[in-house]
Structure formats: structure tokens, C-alpha cells
Amino acid sequence: MKRLCIHTITTKPWSTEDCIRRYAEAGAGGITFWRYNLDGRDPAAVGKQAKDAGLDIVSLCRGGFFPAKTAASRQEAIDDNRRCIEQAHKLGAPLIVLVCGAVPGQSLEESRKQITDGLAAVLPDAEAAGVKLGIEPLHPMYADDRSAVNTMRQANDICDALGSPAQVGIAADVYHIWWDPELQHQIQFTAANDRLFAFHICDWKTPTTDLLNDRGLMGEGCIPIRQISDWVDATGFTGHREVEIFSNRYWSMDQGEWLGMIKDSYNELYGCV
Amino acid sequence: MKRLCIHTITTKPWSTEDCIRRYAEAGAGGITFWRYNLDGRDPAAVGKQAKDAGLDIVSLCRGGFFPAKTAASRQEAIDDNRRCIEQAHKLGAPLIVLVCGAVPGQSLEESRKQITDGLAAVLPDAEAAGVKLGIEPLHPMYADDRSAVNTMRQANDICDALGSPAQVGIAADVYHIWWDPELQHQIQFTAANDRLFAFHICDWKTPTTDLLNDRGLMGEGCIPIRQISDWVDATGFTGHREVEIFSNRYWSMDQGEWLGMIKDSYNELYGCV
């Protein structure tokens, strides 16, 4: 259970404090905070609270959204990512997960160029703060306005374009990449280049009724999660398995009951009864 | 306007006869029938009606759905595709568009193998009937239960695995493939191998509120349709541009008004005022 990490968005109705307390009580090993968790709070205090509860702070979600139609807006995004790096540093999060961004009507090539430029701009800040940046390839159904990076290959290409800095890598989420015929190879390649920074799990429901907020609990969908997870572990990855589930259905449940379901599903998947 | 073809599903509320009459009146050059159009009708009579109205019969949608968990179900799919080939032959459609199928919980690799086997089984029938089979790669968001073929590369791989028969090729729909970083290359490769059988257009709306039935009219989304269309034409493709739009929103409109919007959008896109 120590490799189980939960993203606070998975239990969105809970406060930051509730998430920390309840995840720790449930025996999870780690927590990934979302930035809204820090609203009106001192990141260092939140970080201390999590550590005192025995939780590893796995990452801070999310930076990114670099592309924009105007230079001024792109600069705003860079400034916001710098603030995010500072927050992560104070929080004690070693990693920021990046949803890289896309602009409807702007070519994906141009957006990827702007993402690369944005990363280059904030890289010195990340290095100075000792915070890593994890590019999360998003499913191609989010290529319109969320991410022009839709495969691990594209994320690796951006790492290459930046000159393979140790600070930049990839956050692999099964929801986004399970369909990719290159997946096993890309996981191996990513790890071999010391870029496999994070591993997120959930499931793909049939039918999926909402493009954003209808993700499934592990085991109720079609993603071969255990197979992908084994590919990840076979590279030597020993990091957390992060449960990140956006779901209107589950958010409307009693969140304690929902956390119990997550724990059961995780235990069934990994056989850690 | 002669390259404009409309899929009957685009005006789903209309009867087969209404589609033929109204598309011809609107000046479209072609029609793609869906199989439901043939329910209770003689395909040859429907085909004659369309030709008499001056419309090219571009294709019949849709065959495929080859993968299944049992051999008996896979045989049923093969039998159904044989019936579809016979219908297309009688209708006078030179092409069947294939939504290849997928089975939640079955690996995509296994589904692709079953698709290849299914195609091999019906290929002699297609050859005898003079009907081509167009594999339509579907967007990765349909990899759970609609198609294990999600990129043009995978469709080309299947053509290769079959030994590149002249009867099997690809139906390229911008909705499914616009995000693919290999797209231009794959269009060129497909055409160079005489496999570019069909070209479908519509748009991707932001936001998209339904995974199936919220497609956009050309121009209201983020797909660089004209650019992709130019890549297609640059290969020497002179076939129809087929408007295929599933949309609860547009289906609830007056369909005559909707057809006018399609025509205007097509004219604006291709400058054929």
C-alpha cells in the first residue's frame, strides 16, 4: 500500500486537511496535491501537515498551459509556472505535473513549439528550486484545448528538443496512453532516459458519458492497467501508483465510501491484501 | 460542388428517398448510404433512384465490427460483412466503409488480429463483387468498443499484413486523425500505395459534449480541414469530400436549413461559390 498515492482531485469534495487525514488513515503512502489545495494556505504548512501524517508528497498538479495566441499571454503562463515551481518548492513536492496546453485553431505544431519554449523559459527556475517538471501526454481527445502533446513519443521529442535536461521528464497516465500501439516501447525508452517521473492510474469506462469527468475506477473499464503497470515496474520504476480520477458520479458519493472503493480496487489490482 | 458527397446519417431524420432528392436539389455530387437506408428496400432500386437523380453512389456505411470474444460471434460478423458486400454490389456502391470493431477487455493487439482475419475471410467476396473495403481508423477515444484501428499507420499495417490486395484500403476522416503528428506522411504513404479510398470531413468542437453525437460543421471547430484536404488532393486524389456529421444538435433542426448550412460551409471551405 505504500506505493498507493491519491490525487486530491479524486476526492474533490474534501478539503485539503480532510484529504491528508483520510488518505493517511486509509494507509496510502503518498498524496498529490492540486493547486486549489493551496488556495489561502501556506504551502510549507500544508507540506508539513502531509509529512507529519506520514504521507509522501508525490507531486503538485498542475502547471503548463504554455501555448497562447499572444506573446503577453504566453508570458503570463510562464510567470504562472514560475509561481507553481515556487509553490512546489515550499510544499516539498519534488515534481510538477504539466498539462501542456493547446489553443483551438492554432496548429498543434505551433503549440508544441510554444510548449517547448515555455519549458525552456522556466527550466532554470525548476533547476534552482530542485523541482522536476513532468510532461503529461494527454489523450488525443484533448488536443483541441488542453494539450498538443498526445503521446509519450511527442513528450520524449520535447525532452530531446530541450537537450534532455535531468529536470524534465514524463508523467504517464494510463487513461491517456493505453491505446497507443507504441506504449511498451515508449515506457522503456522513457525510463532508459531517466524521464519516467510519474505513473497515474484509473480506468476507461464503456460507455464514457463525459469527455472530462467520467473516468472509471481501476477494474471497471477496458484499460490493461496491470499489464501497463508491469511494463513500468520492469524498467526499475519504484515510484508511486497515483490514483487520479475525475468523476461526477464518484464525487457525488460519500467520499469515505469512495476512498474505501479505491483502496479495495488498488488491492485487487496489485494483490496487496 | 461535384466533389461534395453527403452521408445520409448527416440528415438522419430524412428518409432514404428524401436524402436522394434533397442532396441532388442542393447540387451535391454524391451520396454515401448507411445500411439503415436499405431496410425494407431493394438496394438496386435505391441505387437506381440515386443515379437517376444524378448522384454518384460513393460508399455504403458500414461494415466491420470483426472482433468478438467467441468464434461463433466472429463468424456472425463475417457473414454480416458478406451480406453488406452483396448489398453494396446491388446498390452500385464501389466501396464499403469499415468500422473495424473492438471488444472492451480484449487486448487491442488481439482485436487487430481478428480484424485482419475477418478481412481475409471476406476479401474473396469483395473481389468477386467488385466492391472495395475501406478501413476507417477511428479516434483513439473509440478504442474501447468501436475500433482497435486508431491511426492511419495501423490501417496501413493491416493492409500490409493482408498482402496489399487492391481491394482493401483506407477511409480517412479528419475527425479521427486530425491530431496525428504523422498525418501528412501517412496520407502520402496511403495514396502512394493506392489505398486512399475515401475522405470524410466535419469538425471538432470545443467543447465537445458527447463522444459520439456532437461533431461540428466544417469551420466551427479546430480541425485544419483545408490543410488536410490539400494534403489529400496533392496526392492526386480526385474523389469526393464526404460530409459525415453525427450531431444531436443538428438532427434536431429543420433538415432543409441544416443542408443549406452544410452547403454554405462547404463552399466557404473550398471557395466554390
**pLDDT for A243 beyond 80:** yes
Which of B111, B144, B173 should be substituted to probe chain A, the one whose Cβ sees the most A Cβ atoms within 10 Å?
B144
Phi-psi region of A27 (alpha: psi -120 to 50; beta: other; left: phi over 0): left
Give the residue among B100, B104, B105, B86 at the shortest CA–CA distance from B161. B100
The C-alpha atoms of residue A57 and residue A68 are separated, in whole angstroms, by 31
Report whether A59 contacts A94 (CB < 8 A): yes
Q: Look at B207 and A211 and tell me if their CB atoms are within 8 Å.
A: yes
Q: Look at A208 and B140 and tell me if their CB atoms are within 8 Å.
A: no
Asked if ipTM goes beyond 0.85, one says yes
B46-88: pLDDT as tens digits: 999 999 999 999 999 999 999 999 999 999 999 999 999 999 9
Q: Look at A179 and B150 and tell me if their CB atoms are within 8 Å.
A: yes
Q: Look at B224 and A145 and tell me if their CB atoms are within 8 Å.
A: no
Q: Chain B partners of A208 at a C-beta cutoff of 8 Å?
A: 141, 144, 211
Report whether A6 contacts A31 (CB < 8 A): yes
Report yes or no: A79 at the B interface, CB cutoff 8 Å: no
- The grid cell for B238 is 480526385
In chain B, which among 92-151 make CB contacts under 8 A with chain A? 104-105, 107-108, 139-141, 143-145, 150-151
Report residue B91 CA to chain centroid gap: 16
Residue with grid cell 466503409, as numbered in its chain: B97
- pLDDT at res. A13: 98
Q: Look at B104 and A207 and tell me if their CB atoms are within 8 Å.
A: no
Residue with grid cell 492511419, as numbered in its chain: B152
Report yes or no: A231 at the B interface, CB cutoff 8 Å: no
Q: For residues B234-241, give the mean pLDDT.
A: 98
Q: Look at B204 and A179 and tell me if their CB atoms are within 8 Å.
A: no
Q: Look at B145 and A222 and tell me if their CB atoms are within 8 Å.
A: yes
Q: Look at A144 and B204 and tell me if their CB atoms are within 8 Å.
A: yes
Please tell me the number of Cα atoms within 13 Å of A58 on its side-chain side: 30
Enumerate domains of chain A plus CATH numbers: 4-270 (3.20.20.150)
- Contacts of A98 by beta carbon, 8 Å cutoff, 6+ apart: A62, A63, A64, A119, A133, A134, A135, A136, A171
B142-178: pLDDT as tens digits: 999 999 999 999 999 999 999 999 999 999 999 999 9
- pLDDT at res. A128: 98
**pLDDT for B273 beyond 60:** no
B195-211: pLDDT as tens digits: 999 999 999 999 999 99
In chain A, which among 159-188 make CB contacts under 8 A with chain B? 178-181
A149-198: pLDDT as tens digits: 999 999 999 999 999 999 999 999 999 999 999 999 999 999 999 999 99
**Which residue in the set A104, A181, A206 is minimally distant from B144, CB to CB?**
A206
